[in-house]
Amino acid sequence: MADKGTCIITGASRGIGAATARMAAAAGHPVLLNYAGNHSAAEAVAAEIAASGGRALVHQADIAEEDAVTAMFDRAEAELGPITALVNNAGILTPSATFDQLDAARLSRLFAVNITGSFLCAREAVRRMPGPGAIVNVSSRAAVLGSPNEFIDYAASKGAIDSMTIGLSKELGPRGIRVNAVRPGLIETEIHASAGDAGRVARMVSGVPMARAGSAEEVAEAILWLLSDEARYVTGTFIDVSGGR
Ligand code: NAP
């Protein structure tokens, strides 16, 4: 398979990012698998990719840290070659809370990872990609639904990602770098348990028109299409992967 250029995938140790990394490697991208703390999970994904004949590099970095993001992109270029794709996937979900319960510490960490982290990774991609290339941001249906009584702050962090997607797609259009986003709905991953609500998917699934949760692979397939040449005239747009929710 021809080398399609390096693809950096943030949050690739688990969930949607791991599924995306496997598919991007199978599609011919050398992949940098970023993670925050779960080294063994990231190594396991990289080992699977290597066993299937792909190239994968594991790299720990908190995407909220500017120097760590820069170092990650340096290493990807040095060890895997020129970057042509970024999947801005890493994100955190906050525990359920009503608006009156929000505080500055919670908002600050959430926005640092979900907004600043995604902006810094996109900025590094912009600085280094000559074009053509593709950025896919992982937003959420929460950006549109607003997540009342659960996490309006998380929803708003994804609203920021949607605005960035629109603006950056216009800024980079002339360079042939496409910027799109997926908006997953209720997806079966560990993010819900991480936010202290392991039963969330089972509880919410009755509100999904298709009457089931989605899988990480179903989101990854949309991401891969947006990265691919088949989407070469698609920029500044959103694919909702949400079973109609
Ligand atoms: P997940 O299973 O909880 O995995 C999160 C990934 O992000 C892990 O690889 C984690 O690394 C990494 N990560 C977390 N904080 C990070 C940081 N500061 N720096 C670098 N990496 C960090 O999550 P997921 O469900 O796959 O979600 C992926 C994306 O989809 C997120 O942006 C999320 O908001 C969005 N989304 C998810 C759903 C859903 O229902 N699951 C719905 C809509 C949108 P470690 O393993 O090292 O902790």
Is residue 154 in contact with ligand 1, taking CB distance under 6 Å? Answer: no
Q: What is the CA radius of gyration of the chain?
A: 17
Q: Does the reported pTM lie above 0.95?
A: yes
To which residue do tokens 């941001």 refer?
A: 137
Mean pLDDT of the chain: 97
Tens of pLDDT, residues 136-174:
999 999 999 999 999 999 999 999 999 999 999 999 999
**Residue of 24, 154, 157, 159 with catalytic role:** 154
Across the range 193-201, mean pLDDT stands at: 95
Question: What is the 39 CA–ligand 1 centroid distance (Å)?
Answer: 14
Cβ atoms of 135 and 85 closer than 8 Å: yes
Cβ atoms of 91 and 111 closer than 8 Å: no
Question: In the predicted model, is pLDDT for residue 207 greater than 90?
Answer: yes
Confidence class of residue 40 from pLDDT cuts 50, 70 and 90?
very high
d(CA 153, CA 159): 10
Q: What is the pLDDT of residue 3?
A: 74
Q: 29: Cβ–Cβ under 8 A, 6 or more apart, which residues?
A: 3, 4, 5, 6, 7, 84, 85, 227
Q: What is the pLDDT of residue 2?
A: 60
Active site residue 154: yes
Is residue 184 in contact with ligand 1, taking CB distance under 6 Å? Answer: yes
Atom of ligand 1 nearest to the CA of 187: 40
Atom of ligand 1 nearest to the CA of 154: 34
Atom of ligand 1 nearest to the CA of 90: 7
Pocket residue to mutate for ligand 1, from 8, 9, 10, 14, most atoms within 8 A of Cβ: 14
Is residue 63 in contact with ligand 1, taking CB distance under 6 Å? Answer: yes
* CA dist list (Å): 180 to 65, 140, 223, 226: 24, 13, 9, 7
Q: 163: Cβ–Cβ under 8 A, 6 or more apart, which residues?
A: none
Is residue 186 in contact with ligand 1, taking CB distance under 6 Å? Answer: yes
Confidence class of residue 15 from pLDDT cuts 50, 70 and 90?
very high
Confidence class of residue 22 from pLDDT cuts 50, 70 and 90?
very high
Across the range 74-93, mean pLDDT stands at: 98
